[in-house]
Structure 1
Amino acid sequence: MIVKSLKLILISTPIGFLGSGRGGGVELTLTSIVKGFLDMGHRVTLVAPKGSILPFDCERAELITVGGIDQPSWQHQDSHASMVIPLEGVLPKLLNVALELSKEADAILNLAYDWLPLWITPLVETKIFHLISMGGVSKVMQNEVNNLSNTHHSRLAFHTYSQASDYELKDDPIILGNGFDLKNYQFKLDNKGPLGWAGRVAPEKGLEDAVQVAAALEDTLVVWGFLEDKEYASKIEASVPSGTIEWRGYLDTEVFQNQLGACRAFINTPKWNEAYGNVVMEAMACGVPVVAYDRGGPSEIVKSGITGWLTTPDDIDELTQSISKIDQINRINCRDWAVETASYQAFCKRIFSWISREINI
């Protein structure tokens, strides 16, 4: 039972409109936060790039869209790149709208992984909280997160300890995990289907390794996700026999989970320190065991030998061998683990507890 109805302003990712798939896991996280806070009786306003949409079960939230040029993702820049805001960039416009709305709100929760919202936090009266969505891919971002930790540590939260370890924080990190509407993911017992992989099709996601595993097993790899780098995808496809990859594209959750649940195993091959690994938990919510590199967030959410197998990062032979052991995993354990650790209701309670401590409600 809540003490007070919270009025929360959410800032969306500035690298693409919600529903485009460009925002990656942040899009799903935002939906879970909106739904969870509405269910708890709070009031939510989401400020997002023009073109954004919310699922029908989030319609009670106020959605304000803002036009502007997408912000370049830090993921695709050199680690020592400087901060750049495009002319007519959407990022400062999102922040301006959120700050204006915050005059009649309790707090802002920012999910934009960028320098400006972090930098401005100590300079305004509004209490801005930041759920950091990536590891330390940029020196500029690492420096700004570290700076804010020194002055306003309680305003920062992370998905996993692995992600938080990329930063030099003043104190122990606030870890929130993530959350999903698990009724949208149907458990499937059948373990005879294809191999699966999902994510933005971009080099840091390591799709080429999963494709090599499928080729070695003379199997098909079903691939879901936003095709961000077409040249990269073409090179991968040319490196293996025709038919090894079955491209499915970016799908909404209902269609995606139905197809995902038919897989006998899900492969996760990030080349960087993944903050959490939404698709890993989505697979387990469908009962699909996960074979993943022991790197980043997935190393904390896959229970090796129980919900799948963790393997040495970048070791394709070990990854391939682990697929052969997938029948040792009870698919019910995968679903149970998702229910135990990653419901959107529990996730939002953790967020509310974090914010409410700071604003004294």
Structure 2
Amino acid sequence: MIGTSRYPIRQPFAGGLEALVWQLVGRLRSRGHDVTLFAGEGSDGVDGEFAEYAFPSRGWEASRTAAGDQSMPERAFMSDHHAYLRLLMALAGPLANRFDVIHNHSLHHLPVAMAPLLHTPMLTTLHTPPTPWLESAIQAAPQTTRGPGSFAAVSAFIAQQWRVLRPFAGPDVVSNGVDLTSWVAGQGGEMLSWSGRIVPEKAPHLAIDAARKAGMPLVIAGPLSDLRYFEQAIRPRLGLDVRYAGHLAVPELAQLVGSSAAVLVTPLWDEPYGLVVAESLACGTPVVAFDRGGIPEVVADSSLGALVPPGDVAAMAAAVGDVVDLDRVAVREHAERYLSVDRMVTKYEKAYQRLTSTSSVGADRTA
């Protein structure tokens, strides 16, 4: 399992991708699979045998001569490049026959670009719409049976966005799942909540506007991924009716969501899936969300919440009154039927089985 290089896979999660990989690794292991995680330094459950391949938090240090090159890319870019290049070269060399399948969750182009060179079949989960680097890697892959590997998209919306994949098989849609033992049904309450990375494109400032128009208090939770945005657009507007609860681990965040009358979801970009939405429904808490990206696939009908035009704060505020009285038991039951992590893991298991049944990898693999 290849995770991200920027953030460790542990609580409190930096974002939905890290939460998904953490859940997937844990649930696969609980089903008896031998899973090795390659991810940011400090991640949970990293096998000591492969610890040398963890992505170091300090990043890559160029020599003084290389660092002085005027064409030197920014340090974060080079650190990502070095981390993935080092791992993929190991998977093509000393680790070539150690694994049955490689499941790639990174947003980097190198795993896909090097997939045709590996002995082990690779499944890449597409967590975002196309990016130039990743799209280029897929298009440049040789038109062979192995090609750039197999693909899964986290929503039908993302699958449609990745038209570049048409020369290859896929992508299958494997929707993200929620751990229903962690995201438990709550009793609701008198306030609204918003959670996620605090960045302009997630727009918690619009949730503040909507909550105040609706006349209800709001609690905001999430990592300060853009401190400047928080200091300029959020902190000055905090008060008795709007509170920042911090970057919460899952138990505390689930408690917050479960005690909310409704959850506001305010993306100014096309959310690939909307894990926050699924987590809210698992708590029995209805949502009011901007109608963008993959979110309509999660908010399947009006019994779960309301979709409003993107950016329309007045419509969001008006919809709050319509959703706070929805049947929370029915909302939770929908999540149990369609949004569980177990459904997601079962689909991935089937994908692994397809890959291994057609793979010609040698018989000396140990994981």
TM range (shorter): 0.7 to 0.9
Q: Per the alignment, in what secondary structure is the counterpart of residue 103 of structure 1?
A: coil
Q: What CA distance in whole angstroms lies between the structure 2 residues aligned with 1:196 and 1:112?
A: 29
Q: What CA distance in whole angstroms lies between the structure 1 residues aligned with 2:333 and 2:148?
A: 34
Is there any run of 5+ residues in structure 2 with no aligned partner, and where?
A: 61-72, 359-367
The structural deviation recorded for 1:97 is 4.8
The equivalent position to 2:225 in structure 1, one of 223, 228, 232, is 228
Call closer, same or farther: CA 1:297–1:246 in 2, change over 3 Å: same
TM-score by length of 2: 0.83
Q: What CA distance in whole angstroms lies between the structure 1 residues aligned with 2:199 and 2:12?
A: 13
Structure 1 residues 116-164: Cα deviation after superposition (integer angstroms, max 9, x where no partner): 111111122221211111123x322333345559654761111101122
Contact 1:185 1:257 in 2 (8 A): yes
Match in the other structure for 1:206? 203
Contact 1:47 1:97 in 2 (8 A): no
Contact 1:215 1:241 in 2 (8 A): no
Q: Per the alignment, in what secondary structure is the counterpart of residue 172 of structure 2?
A: coil
Call closer, same or farther: CA 1:339–1:101 in 2, change over 3 Å: farther
Q: What CA distance in whole angstroms lies between the structure 2 residues aligned with 1:351 and 1:52?
A: 22
Match in the other structure for 1:51? 42
The structural deviation recorded for 1:23 is 4.1
| Percent of aligned pairs with the same amino acid | 25
Contact 2:263 2:280 in 1 (8 A): yes
Contact 1:224 1:247 in 2 (8 A): yes
Q: Which amino acid aligns with 1:140?
A: W
Call closer, same or farther: CA 1:263–1:283 in 2, change over 3 Å: same
Over aligned residues, Cα RMSD in angstroms?
2.8
Q: Per the alignment, in what secondary structure is the counterpart of residue 31 of structure 1?
A: helix
Matched, 1:36 2:27: yes
Larger radius of gyration: 2
Q: What CA distance in whole angstroms lies between the structure 1 residues aligned with 2:250 and 2:157?
A: 27
Match in the other structure for 1:187? 185
Match in the other structure for 1:118? 112
Call closer, same or farther: CA 1:220–1:102 in 2, change over 3 Å: farther
Q: What CA distance in whole angstroms lies between the structure 2 residues aligned with 1:51 and 1:241?
A: 33
Q: What CA distance in whole angstroms lies between the structure 2 residues aligned with 1:159 and 1:87?
A: 23
Call closer, same or farther: CA 1:344–1:215 in 2, change over 3 Å: same
Q: What CA distance in whole angstroms lies between the structure 2 residues aligned with 1:312 and 1:149?
A: 42
TM-score by length of 1: 0.84
Contact 2:11 2:250 in 1 (8 A): no
Call closer, same or farther: CA 1:96–1:17 in 2, change over 3 Å: farther
Match in the other structure for 1:325? 322
Matches within 5 A, 1:1-361: 10-19=1-10, 23-54=14-45, 64=51, 65-67=54-56, 69=58, 84-86=77-79, 89-99=82-92, 100-136=94-130, 138-147=131-140, 152=147, 155-168=150-163, 169-170=165-166, 173-190=171-188, 192-237=189-234, 240=237, 242-360=239-357
Q: Which amino acid aligns with 2:232?
A: K
The structural deviation recorded for 1:86 is 3.2
Q: Which amino acid aligns with 1:358?
A: L
Call closer, same or farther: CA 1:183–1:63 in 2, change over 3 Å: farther
Is there any run of 5+ residues in structure 1 with no aligned partner, and where?
A: 1-9, 72-80
Contact 2:138 2:148 in 1 (8 A): no
The structural deviation recorded for 1:261 is 0.5
Call closer, same or farther: CA 1:60–1:337 in 2, change over 3 Å: farther
Q: Which amino acid aligns with 1:338?
A: A
Q: Which amino acid aligns with 2:102?
A: I
Structure 1 residues 291-344: Cα deviation after superposition (integer angstroms, max 9, x where no partner): 111111211101231111111111111111111111342111221111111222
The structural deviation recorded for 1:189 is 3.0
Q: Per the alignment, in what secondary structure is the counterpart of residue 37 of structure 2?
A: strand
Contact 1:218 1:244 in 2 (8 A): no
Call closer, same or farther: CA 1:239–1:214 in 2, change over 3 Å: farther
